[in-house]
Amino acid sequence: MSNDKAFKALVVQEDSKGNFSKSIQERQVSELPDNDLLIEVHYSSLNYKDAMSASGNKMITKNFPHTPGIDAAGVVISDKSGTFNEGQKVVIFGYDLGMDTPGGLGQMISIPADWAVACPDALTLKEAMIYGTGGITAALSIQKLEKMGVKPSDGPVAVSGATGGVGSISIAILSQLGYDVIAFSGKTEQTEHLKALGATEVRHRDSVNDVGKRPVGRELWANAIDTVGGEYLANLLKQTKAGGAVTSCGLAASAEFAMTVLPFITRGVSLLGIDSVYIPLEDKKTIWNRVATDMKLPNLESYGEEITLEQTPEYLDRFMAGKTVGRYVVNVRG
């Protein structure tokens, strides 16, 4: 590959005993895949999927050594496809980036040109990564509810995993759009933080499970955004008002859930899946434009904590320990 030079990257390695370690190392551009688009990464962000990759989860990343980072924002160094101009600002999330393709926690990436979109003029590269996959997933969840005809006057929207990246941005955007939000979190010490984001009410996450084994419960919220899966998703569905909908985008609690079909056939409740990985490129452009316009949050930089590339091993461990709050934007070159 042309433009060969050294750069820094987080590298996860597996030893002969199946143990994994992560460190900041120097790599060469020639070690990257030979794809059309070469990008100098300025910012990335941290997501739960990055933490799973960095811990050696073979369902996320099969081959090691590996550089995680499912988000990247930077400038084009070269593009053999002719799609982008040298120096153009671009953002990338989804597809195979950071899974088995070296990701945004490295200062350089090489990807197919059709994985990238131009960074909206209204967003800086840092702002784009404050959203990142987490924020874009939140925006996609809200947009899907909108397509179902949901509006603020219908009643409150419940958000599970409220202190996480998807949950916190969901609360902020919903509040900005005029919705009342019931935030569910196990981190009761973050109550004031969640209210500052825009939550109308904060409840302990386990209270959603008070419905127990009953097939349906009282109708407590009009719609919901679930970020954790498992019994939390099932019990959000059981307590959603007739005609409402629940989006599903995460599995931190579990990838499985068990329930009856009664909420669907007696109340007409809808379960909406959210995919932020393989959605069509045009849909990605649309949602980026929305977070740069009607969904753009005021004082956006206040929604993300900036960290350095050198700090990422520590913060990825915090993700796996459930000790993170909100969004983390990585200044890859800082």
Q: What is the DSSP string of 159-203?
A: ESSTTSHHHHHHHHHHHHTT--EEEEES-GGGHHHHHHHT-SEEE
| Cα angle 155-167-277, degrees, rounded to a multiple of 5 | 115
pLDDT for position 170: 97
pLDDT along the chain (334 residues), means of 10: 80 95 96 97 96 94 96 98 98 95 98 96 96 95 97 98 94 97 95 96 95 94 97 97 97 91 97 94 94 93 94 95 91 92
pLDDT for position 3: 55
Which among 146, 82, 83 has a CA at the least distance from the CA of 117? Answer: 83
Produce one character per residue of 180-213: b if its CB has 16 or more CB atoms within 10 Å, e if not.
bbbbbbebeebbebbbebbbbebbebeebeebee
Which among 87, 112, 109 has a CA at the least distance from the CA of 98? Answer: 109
Radius of gyration for the alpha carbons in the chain, expressed in angstroms and rounded? 20
Residue linked to tokens 């009761």: 188
Q: In what order do the strands lie in the sheet with 223-226?
A: 201-204, 181-185, 157-159, 223-226, 245-248, 270-273
Q: Give, for 225, the enclosing helix (H) or strand (E).
A: strand 223-226
The DSSP secondary-structure symbol of 62 reads -
Q: How many CA atoms lie within 13 A of 220 on its CB side?
A: 21
**Which pTM was predicted?**
0.92
| Dihedral of alpha carbons 94, 99, 100, 102, sign | positive
**Helical H runs in the chain?**
48-54, 125-147, 165-176, 191-197, 230-238, 262-266, 281-291, 312-320
Give Cα 165 distance to the centre of its chain. Answer: 6
| CA dist., res. 291 & res. 122, Å (int) | 9
Residue linked to tokens 């990436």: 109
pLDDT for position 251: 87
Please answer whether residues 252 and 161 qualify as being in contact, where contact means their C-beta atoms are separated by less than 8 angstroms. yes
* Farthest-apart Cα atoms in the chain, separation: 63
Please answer whether residues 309 and 303 qualify as being in contact, where contact means their C-beta atoms are separated by less than 8 angstroms. no
pLDDT for position 334: 81
